[in-house]
């Protein structure tokens, strides 16, 4: 295909009631939390939406997108954006709008503090996406990482790609 296909929003897990989806978890400042997403159709994506937890407005968050080999495709501004919208998706624009072909990718979120929460994939959700976390420094986006081969509960962010 040469034109975008499919929905304008593509979640990495089935979406239900936001306030009860997954686990509302605090961050370790600078740690990247990643989760797999499968893109089933050709499309260009503007950014990543992160499902915030119950506590927002205290810390900045940023996002990144990596390919199936763990190679960075794009990220948001390294200054981050103030977390906003308790138990709601917060869309964060990528620095470029990548065109993705069908395949496996990884969405990551990073926070500069330890107060704001994001919702993470809980064991009860089935654990069918690979997840990982890697210590880091806020605003530093690794050009690559080793893709995970297992699911760890309460690590992978609940997120979506949006056009």
Please report the sign of the dihedral spanned by the C-alpha atoms of residue 41, residue 43, residue 7, residue 156.
positive
- Please determine, for residue 10, whether its predicted confidence score (pLDDT) is greater than 90: no
pLDDT of res. 1: 61
pLDDT for 17 beyond 80: no
From residue 111, alpha-carbon distances to 36, 57, 126 in Å are: 19, 12, 26
Q: What is the pTM of this model?
A: 0.92
DSSP 8-state class, residue 37: E
Neighbours of 82 (CB within 10 A): 13
Identify the residue whose tokens are 């919208």.
85
Q: What is the mean pLDDT of residues 135-147?
A: 97
Evaluate whether 23 touches 131 at the Cβ level (below 8 Å): no
What's 69's DSSP letter? T
Model confidence at 14, pLDDT cuts 50, 70, 90, reads confident
Percent of the chain residues topping a pLDDT of 70: 97
> Any idea which residue has 């990718």 for tokens?
105
CA distances from 6 to 34, 55, 66, 83, 106 (A): 24, 33, 21, 28, 19
């Amino acid at each position: 295909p040469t034109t975008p296909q499919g929905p304008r929003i593509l979640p990495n897990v089935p979406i239900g009631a936001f306030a009860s989806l997954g686990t509302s978890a605090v961050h370790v400042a600078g740690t990247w939390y990643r989760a797999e997403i499968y893109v089933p159709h050709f499309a260009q994506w503007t950014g990543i939406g992160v499902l915030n937890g119950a506590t927002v407005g205290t810390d900045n968050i940023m996002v990144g997108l990596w390919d199936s080999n763990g190679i960075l495709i794009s990220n948001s501004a390294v200054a981050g954006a103030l977390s906003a919208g308790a138990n709601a998706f917060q869309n964060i624009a990528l620095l470029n709008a990548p065109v993705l072909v069908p395949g496996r990718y990884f969405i990551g979120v990073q926070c500069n503090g330890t107060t704001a929460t994001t919702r993470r994939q809980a064991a009860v959700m089935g654990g069918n996406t690979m997840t990982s976390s890697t210590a880091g420094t806020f605003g530093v986006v690794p050009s690559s990482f080793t893709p995970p081969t297992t699911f760890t509960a309460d690590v992978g962010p609940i997120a979506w790609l949006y056009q």
